Amino acid sequence: MRGCSVPVIAVSPIIGSDSVKGPTAKYMRELGLPVSATAVANYYSDFLDGFILDTQDEKDASEIRKMSISVKVAEILMKDLATKTKLANTVLDFSNNCSKRSLNLQKNGLSCGA
């Protein structure tokens, strides 16, 4: 993913102090990590260009920005088709306005999937 020529964007799997779905929070606790959007962003900070977190976690945005990761705050819980569509559009809009942190990777011949 580091060599991808387009921005790498992640949507937080955490809202508040719990996972949206699945065992993410459980695994984070077992690894000794705090269950938070900030912890997720930090874990993937080596290759993330942008991070979308829920409005409930807006307080974490400034800490994530300190990692040189662009941040978008939005409602990320998908309850129905309308909220799924809204989040998809948010991700697309954000990715169009988010730049790569390092374009030097392209000089090394790396591409998406490398």
pLDDT at 99: 81
pLDDT at 102: 53
Q: Phi/psi at 83 (nearest 5 deg)? A: -75, -30
- The answer to whether 77 and 20 are in contact (CB under 8 A) is yes
The reported pTM is 0.83
What is the Cα–Cα distance from 64 to 45, expressed in whole angstroms? Answer: 9
Domain 9-107 belongs in CATH node 3.40.50.10680 = yes
Which stretches of the chain score pLDDT less than 50? 103-114
pLDDT at 2: 64
Residue that the structure tokens 């309308």 belong to: 82
Q: How far is CA 72 from CA 10, 11, 14, 35, 109, in A?
A: 10, 9, 14, 19, 30
Residue that the structure tokens 């900070």 belong to: 45
pLDDT at 110: 38
pLDDT at 3: 72
pLDDT at 107: 40
pLDDT at 64: 96
Domain boundaries, the chain: 9-107
